[in-house]
Chains A and B, each alone.
Chain A
Amino acid sequence: MSDDNKPRSNRRSTSLLANDRTLVIDYKNPQLLKSFLTDRGKIVPARISGVSARQQRQITRAVKRARMLALIPYTVQ
């Protein structure tokens, strides 16, 4: 129950990638996309990675395209 009273930790990252407004998200660049995936292959939520909503939409689209082309995995066992 003590969890309820615990102050919420600030999860927002201030990573270099998230602050880069000029970052071009391209589905052909799996190395870049991997930095927005967990080690299970899930897309990292924007509230955690700290990217803007616009960037998050671009990332989501790119990740899904790259998965189709087997550049990044759907799941990691």
Chain B
Amino acid sequence: MSDTSGQVLSVSNKQGTKREYETILILRPQTSKVGIREFVTKMQGVFEKCGARLIKIENWGTRTLAYPINRSPTGIYLYWRYLGGSDIVHEFERNLRITDSVLRFYTVKVDEDVDPAARPSEITDDLLENISEPPPEPEPEPVREVEEENSMYADDGVEGLEEGVN
């Protein structure tokens, strides 16, 4: 790694600031709890090497995928949030690509010109210990469901939408 690692090199960004990224990745449902913990520990090494800092990591548990990926109908979702430069995204995604248990990943830039001191890390040893298990689910909020949208293009479609929401 060069000495510019972890830095935001774009001239349009303020000096000394970092970018905030979030990555969601889907692991194979067969991945063991030990496997997840090992994977997270390994990735932490990647973050340290790139001068990036993990802010948050969440296990969303095993979810049913909307469509099968690599013939897998379910997957374990992991949510990562971190500060760094673009090199961490490159290096992190390279590592995800060579990890067999990763089905899919997606990174989004949340914010830029972030002062690293303003974003304390929420990562604790305890949290990392339990990363292989999803947190206890809070009661899901009742969702305002919209139904009968199939007649959307018919003349009475609008009423269907309104009824569903109200």
Contacts and interface: CB of A to CB of B under 8 A. Distances in A.
Contact of A49 (B26, B75, B155, B161): B161
A69 B24 contact: yes
B166 A70 contact: no
A72 B162 contact: no
Nearest to B103: A70
Given A69-B24, A69-B104, A16 B66 contact: no
Given A38-B149, A69-B104, A73-B66, A12 B158 contact: yes
Main secondary structure on chain B at its contact with chain A? mixed
Interface in A38-77: 38-40, 44, 48-49, 65, 67-74
**Size category of the binding interface on chain B:** 20 to 34
Chain A facing B: main interface SS: loop
Contacts of B155: 9, 11
Contacts of A39: 149-150
Interface size class on chain A is 20 to 34
B104 A35 contact: no
Give the top 9 A-B pairs by smallest Cβ distance, nearest first: A70-B65, A73-B66, A15-B165, A35-B146, A31-B143, A70-B66, A39-B150, A9-B155, A38-B149
Given A38-B150, A69-B104, A70-B104, 4 more contacts: A14-B162, A31-B143, A69-B106, A70-B65
27 contacts: A9-B158, A12-B158, A15-B161, A16-B144, A17-B144, A17-B165, A28-B24, A28-B79, A30-B66, A31-B143, A34-B146, A35-B165, A38-B149, A38-B152, A39-B149, A39-B150, A44-B149, A44-B152, A48-B157, A48-B158, A65-B106, A69-B26, A69-B104, A70-B67, A70-B69, A70-B104, A74-B67
